[in-house]
Structure 1
Amino acid sequence: MDLTLESNRILLMCFKKEDAYRIAELANNEELANILGLPHPYKIDIAQEWIATQPELIKMGIEYPLTIIDKQVKEIVGTITIRVDNKNNKGELGYWIGRDFWGKGYASEAVNRMIEFGFIELHLNKIWASAISRNIASIKVLEKSGFQKEGTLRQNKLLLDTYEDVDVFGLLRCDYIK
C-alpha cells in the first residue's frame, strides 16, 4: 500500500528501505532516547528491521507508520504512527520529531493530519496517546490538537533506570466532528 497524507507544510508517507539511514541519524539522539525510550545509540540495523515490518502492518490495517517530510526541503524530520485496535475501534497515536526540528510545528501539523486520517478514513471512534509527564512539549501538541487528559499512570515506564509517570490523552470522534 502506498499511503500519502498531505497538509500545508508536510507529507506523511510510507517508509522506503533507504529511509533507514535518515531515521537512524534522527533517532540517534540522547534527548529523544531519554523521553521516548528509544535505544541509544540508535544503529542503522534497528531502523532497517523496523522499516521491514511496516508494509505488512499497513496491509493488515494494524498500524500506519509514516515519515514526516518537510515538503519544502524534501527531508524527513520525524515519524508518526497510528496503531489500530479494531476490536475497540480506536487508535493509539505515536510520534517523534528529530531534535533539530523541535519547536517548529511539525508535530502539531502531523498529529492533526493523522487525527483526520483516523476519524475520516479509518472511521475510528477514539484516538488516544500517551506522553511521559515531563514531556511538556508533546503534551502541548496533544492538548492543542483537542486531546483531553484522561489520567496519569504513575511510575508506568522505566526509562534510564527511573520510573516515569505517563499522562494519557484521548480524543473522541464526536468531539472531533464538532
Structure 2
Amino acid sequence: MAIKLKSERLCIEPFTKNDACRIKELANDKELADILGLPYPYELKFAQDWIDIQPELIRQGVEYPLGIISKESGEIVGTITLRIDKVNNRGELGYWIGQDYWGKGFATEAVTRMINFGFIELGLNRIWASAISRNKSSIRVLEKSGLRKEGTLRQNRLLLDTYEDVDVYGLLKTEYNVITRK
C-alpha cells in the first residue's frame, strides 16, 4: 500500500533512508527525550535502524510509522505512528513533533488526518492513544482531535527514575462518524 496522506499544511508519508539525519536532529532533544523516553543523546544509528524496519511493518499492515512534513518548508517536523491490533481491529496512535514546531498545530493536524486514515482507509473500529499526564500539550492535541479521556493509569511509566501517570484517550468509529457528519 503506497501511503501519502495530505492535510491542509502537511504531507504524511513513509520515511526514506535519507531522512535519518533529520530524525536524529529532531529527536536529539533532552526535553523531548524526557517526555517520550527516547534515548539521549539520540544517535544517527538509532534513526537508521528505526527507518530500516519500517517498510516491512507497513507491508504487513501492523504499524504505519510516517513522517510529518511541512508543505511550506518541505522539512520533516515530526513523526506519527498508528500501531494496528488486527485481532481487536484497533489502532494505537503515537506521535511527536520537533520542539521548534511546538504550538503551531502540526500535531493536531497530523493526528486528525491519521484518525481519518485509520477509520476510513483501514476500517478500524477504535483508535486510542496515551500521554504522560503532565504532558498537557499532547493531551490538548488528543482532545482537539476528538479523542475522549477514558482513564488514568497511575504510575504506569518509569521515566527518569520517576513513575509517571499516563492518561488514556480513545475514539470509536461510531463516534468519529458522528463528528465528521457535523
Instruction: Tell me the CA shift for residue 3 of structure 1.
Output: 1.2
Deviations 1:68-108 (A, max 9, x none): 00001100000001000000000000000000000000000
- What code does the residue aligned with 2:155 have? Q
Instruction: Tell me the CA shift for residue 2 of structure 1.
Output: 3.1
Q: Does 1:104 align with 2:104?
A: yes
List aligned pairs for 1:88-167, cutoff 5 A.
Answer: 88-167=88-167
Q: Distance in 2 between matches of 1:121 and 1:2?
A: 12
Q: Distance in 2 between matches of 1:162 and 1:25?
A: 26
Q: Which runs of 5+ in 1 are unaligned?
A: none
Q: Distance in 1 between matches of 2:97 and 2:39?
A: 15
Partner of 1:7: 7
List aligned pairs for 1:36-55, cutoff 5 A.
Answer: 36-55=36-55
Q: Distance in 2 between matches of 1:18 and 1:164?
A: 35
TM-score by length of 2: 0.97
Q: Which runs of 5+ in 2 are unaligned?
A: none
Q: Does 1:80 align with 2:114?
A: no
TM-score by length of 1: 0.99
Q: Distance in 2 between matches of 1:34 and 1:136?
A: 14
SS of 1:65's equivalent in the other structure is strand
Q: Distance in 1 between matches of 2:52 and 2:23?
A: 13
Q: Identity percentage over the alignment?
A: 67
Partner of 2:56: 56
Size of the aligned set, in residue pairs, is 178
SS of 1:128's equivalent in the other structure is strand
SS of 2:163's equivalent in the other structure is strand
- What code does the residue aligned with 2:56 have? E
SS of 2:111's equivalent in the other structure is helix
Q: Distance in 2 between matches of 1:62 and 1:94?
A: 14
- What code does the residue aligned with 1:128 have? W
Q: Distance in 2 between matches of 1:110 and 1:148?
A: 17
